[in-house]
Structure 1
């Protein structure tokens, strides 16, 4: 008798929040569940309504992560949350390429002034917000 819980089901499936956590897209399973329950995750173009939605190999996920939108195809179901190299083998990244670099020049400061002024800080924050959009 086999101890594999996925055997005999035809196609292996796993909860979407658990898979996102195992593939190391989120630091905790509760963070992954929060993104799914807020309606920010799409499975094959359809919004995932519940954290218990089942996903399997071949499904395409679209979700926000760190100020950018990730588009990935599930390649395998993980057995555990292992090291990053093991997690990267679970999916294929479908994004066209790396994010475009920020074209604005860095703020010029005097040689003796290492810390930015309040005005410089506001400009830095504005540039960072524009880069995320």
Structure 2
């Protein structure tokens, strides 16, 4: 079996102050139905773990759209960089900029649906998956 060229997303991590580091597998079919819990008002960031099979990738970026009740509430796009094949099969790890979780009763009602994509400059989409989170008054 030949491996596809380019980037293979292995995991996305949710890192929040005061909470445990959560590791999500993009291939997990339960990411939408089992939302990640984030405490309101805390600083949190997302981490990406990926491997480059062979060939160089240029201008790789992560784009995310956050929706609540089918209304876009946030967009994030961050450049990850350009990468060559992963040395010794070790994955690359990239931490995205930290954000502050919203607060208040209205922010806590319902869950948020996130569509995450890893895209190159040439418009090649290496990963495209959805996951969800909900805000809580305290860690649950």
> So what's the TM-score if we normalise by structure 1?
0.28
Higher strand share: 2
Higher relative contact order (CA 8 A, sep 6+): 2
Larger radius of gyration: 1
> So what's the TM-score if we normalise by structure 2?
0.27
Higher helix share: 1
